[in-house]
Amino acid sequence: MRESPKNTVCVGPSLGYQESMSISYSPLRIARATLLLVAVLVVLVLSVGTARPVQAQDLSEAYLLPELFAIMSDESIAAIGAEGASPLSDAGLVEWRAELAAIYDPDRMHQRFMEALADALASHPEITTDALDFAASALGRRVLRLEVSAREALLEPEIDDAARSALMHARHDRPDAPAAHRLALVRERIAVNDLIEMNVSLGLNTSYAYYTGMATEGAASGLGPLDLLALVQAQEEDIRHDIIDWIESYFLMAYQPLSDEEMRAYIAYAASPEGDAFNRAMFRAFDTVFVALSHQVGRALGRRLMTEEL
C-alpha cells in the first residue's frame, strides 16, 4: 500500500469484493465522512506559545468540531448501513446499523482525531500558531462556517444531486462564464494542496484496511494479502473519478458566497508553507482515525457474514 502521510478520507462508488459474496460496501464511502480538505477546519494543540495554554475544549468549540464529527458519523452510517450496501439479509440490517453507530460514535471519533492531530503537530508549534491566526481572521471564520454548513446540507440527497448538477453545468459552460470562472478557482484551491492525490491515497488505504479486516474474520476465503492489494489497486481510477466529482461539487457549493478576492486570499494562505504543512498534518490525523475505523467495519461485517453462513 502506498505511503499516506498526507491523506484524508473520501467517498467512492460501490466496490465489488467477491462476485460470490456481492459485497457492494465501499470503504471509500468513509471518504465523504472525512473529506475535510481545508487547512482551517480543525486544529488541536495544548500550547501554542501564547500567554496561557490553549484548552482543547476551547478549540473544539471554536472549530465546530462537535458539529463536524456528528455530520461525519451520520454520513458513514447512512452510506454503509444503506439497504443494498452490504450482502446482509434484511433481518440483519437493524443490528448492523446499530453496530455501525457504535463504531462511528462521534465523541470517540472526535477524541481520537484530536489525539492524532496533537501528535502530528507536537514538534511544530509555529504551524499551529499560524493556523490559529488564520482561523481567527474574518476570512477564516467565514470559510469554517461555510464548509461545515455545506457538509451538513449535503447529507440531503436532493442537495447532493443539485451540487453535482451545478458542477456539470460549470464544467460545460463557456470559459468566460461566472460558473466556469469559479470552478477554475476551486480547482486552483484543490491543486495547491494536492488534495486529489491525498484523497486517492487515503481511499486506497481505507479500502485495504476494510478488506484486511474482513480477512481477519475469515470472510475472504482464498484471498491472501497480495490478492487483497491487487483488488484495491484495481479500484484506483474509479476512486479518483469519484473523488474529483465529490470534492469539486462540495467546494463549488461551499465557497459560492465568497468573492473572488476572498477565494484568492484563501488560496494564498492554503499555498503558504505553514498552511500546506498544517493541511498535511490534518490529513495524517484523519488517516490514523479512518483507516482504523475502516478495519473495524471490515471485521464487523466479516463476523456477520460468517454468522449468517452458519
pLDDT reported for residue 180: 97
Q: What is the pTM of this model?
A: 0.81
Confidence of residue 88 (pLDDT cuts 50, 70, 90): confident
For the segment 205-231, the average pLDDT, to the nearest whole number, is 92
| Sequence-ordered list of residues with C-beta below 8 angstroms from that of 67, at least 6 positions apart, any chain | 148, 152
203, 28 Cβ separation under 8 angstroms = yes
- Is 111's pLDDT higher than 70? yes
Q: Which of 37-41, 101-105, 227-231 has the highest mean pLDDT?
A: 101-105
Residue with the bigger pLDDT between 253 and 119: it is 253
Pure H helices in the chain:
29-32, 56-62, 65-80, 90-103, 106-121, 125-136, 138-153, 157-172, 178-192, 195-216, 225-233, 236-254, 260-271, 273-309
pLDDT reported for residue 47: 31
Q: In whole numbers, what is the pLDDT of the chain averaged over residues?
A: 80
pLDDT reported for residue 286: 87
Confidence of residue 58 (pLDDT cuts 50, 70, 90): low
pLDDT reported for residue 61: 67
For the segment 167-180, the average pLDDT, to the nearest whole number, is 96
Which DSSP letter does residue 46 get? S
**Residues above pLDDT 90, as percent of the chain:** 57
Which DSSP letter does residue 54 get? P
For the segment 37-56, the average pLDDT, to the nearest whole number, is 35
- Our CA angle for 258, 263, 266, nearest 5°, is 120
- Is 6's pLDDT higher than 60? no
Which DSSP letter does residue 19 get? T
For the segment 192-196, the average pLDDT, to the nearest whole number, is 95
pLDDT reported for residue 120: 84
For the segment 276-296, the average pLDDT, to the nearest whole number, is 92
pLDDT reported for residue 232: 93
- Is 39's pLDDT higher than 70? no
- Is 190's pLDDT higher than 90? yes
Confidence of residue 57 (pLDDT cuts 50, 70, 90): low
- Our CA angle for 108, 160, 94, nearest 5°, is 50
| CA gap 147, 153 in Å, rounded | 10
* Among 3, 26, 19, residue whose Cα is nearest residue 206: 26
* H or E stretch covering 168: helix 157-172
Return the domain boundaries, the chain: 29-309
